[in-house]
Structure formats: structure tokens, C-alpha cells
Amino acid sequence: MKERSGIIHDSSKDIYTKLDERVNDFWEWSKTQKPEYEWETEYESWAIVNFLFSELVETTEHSYWSRKTINNLLYMIARDHECGILINKLCERPKSLLFLAQEGLFHPDPEVRWQLAHYLTKISAQYSEAEEIIREFSEDHDEYVRRRAILALGYIKSKYAEERAVMAWNTNLEYQRIAALEVLYQMKSKELEQYLKLARNSEFEYVRSNAERITKQLG
């Protein structure tokens, strides 16, 4: 066994086993914590997690990942939702990101689903599959995941963006309507003025204030 950058390496264990052990350690630690804001950031061994995650995605191919490894990666990405270090590292391996995004569509934790939807925008120009997966996330049952996916569609100027924005508006949910306005603005949609008029008379304060912001940006 040797130590490098404060991380102990056991040459008798492969990278998958090391990550398994660290995920188990985090899981046991999490049972002692109260699920309060940013509680995950208090875990003392994030440096080891980051190192093992990076080593795994850089040195292995996703076609060799077991179901346990896939679940471990998705779980730790979810737990890193405040800092986003792991998902940013994954973006350096676009095919692995696409693979995990597809696997993550029905993952039970929304903290991983919204990150996947958002960060797929970084590779969408090179990989058309990314747009399709973001569209699937825009149909998620979780409001925040849907919102981030709809915003992502607007950011990449997707062919689905305007349609999804109108659908978001029609939910009559405050933050869905805010996202809808932003996407229509980003897309320079012909429908924007119509929805700005509706938004100015909205029952929701933040919808009205966002309509005012966009109107000022339009000059």
C-alpha cells in the first residue's frame, strides 16, 4: 500500500472496488447526518471520492461498467449537486456522459437527473443524442428537473424548446412559467410578446418581475 496526495492506494484492489468502498463509507456516514441544506458538503473524504471518480471515468470504458458501478456513479453525482465537481469531470468524457444520462433518466434521485439534463448542453453541439435526452428529461415528473431541462433546451436553441416552453406555461406553476418566459426569450420566439402580456398580469409576483426584466432587456 502507498500514499499519494493524501490518498491511500491498495494495489490489490481495482478501481471499481475502491469506489464501492468509498460509496459505502459515504452511505454509512450519511445515516448520521440530518438532511439539511448542503449537508453532503460536510463529508470529509470528498477529495478521495473526486480522485476515484476521475480515475474511473478516465481509465475505463462505460461498456465495462457493472450495474453496481453505474449506480455508484449516479449516486455520488447526486450527492455532489452543490459543487458539481463530478458532473464536470464527466463532461470531459462525452460518451460516458451520454451513457449515464440515458441510465439516469429513471434514476429515483432528482438531484442527479437535473444535473444530467443541464450538463448535456456542454456536449450537445457535438452529439445530437444529447438534445433528445434533454427532451426526455423535460417530461420528468419532478418540477425542478423539468424546469432545468426546459431551460437547457432553450440554451441550446433546440427544436423542442418553444413547444416545451408553452407546455410549461400551461401547467400554471410559477417557476414553470418563469422558465417558459426565459426560453421564449432565448429563442427569440414570435410567441414571446403574447406571453409577456399574460405574465404582466400574472397572479405570481416572480412571473411579473421576470416579465419586466425581459421587457427591459428587449429595449
CATH at 146: 1.25.40
Separation of alpha carbons 82 and 109, rounded Å: 14
pLDDT at 6 over 60: no
Condensed to tens digits (0 to 9), the pLDDT of residues 79-119 reads 999 999 999 999 999 999 999 999 999 999 999 999 999 99
Using alpha carbons only, how large is the chain's radius of gyration in Å?
A: 20
Q: Quote the number of domains for the chain.
A: 2
Q: In this structure, what are the phi and psi dihedrals at residue 77, rounded to the nearest 5 degrees? A: -60, -45
> What is the pTM for the complete model shown?
0.92
Q: Has residue 173 been placed in a domain?
A: no
Q: How far apart are CA 36 and CA 15, in angstroms?
A: 31
Same domain, 183 and 122: no
Domain that holds residue 198: 178-219
pLDDT (tens digit per residue) in 117-176: 999 999 999 999 999 999 999 999 999 999 999 999 999 999 999 999 999 999 999 999
Whether 15 and 57 share a structural domain: yes
Q: Does one domain contain both 146 and 194?
A: no
Do 124 and 196 lie in one domain? The reply is no
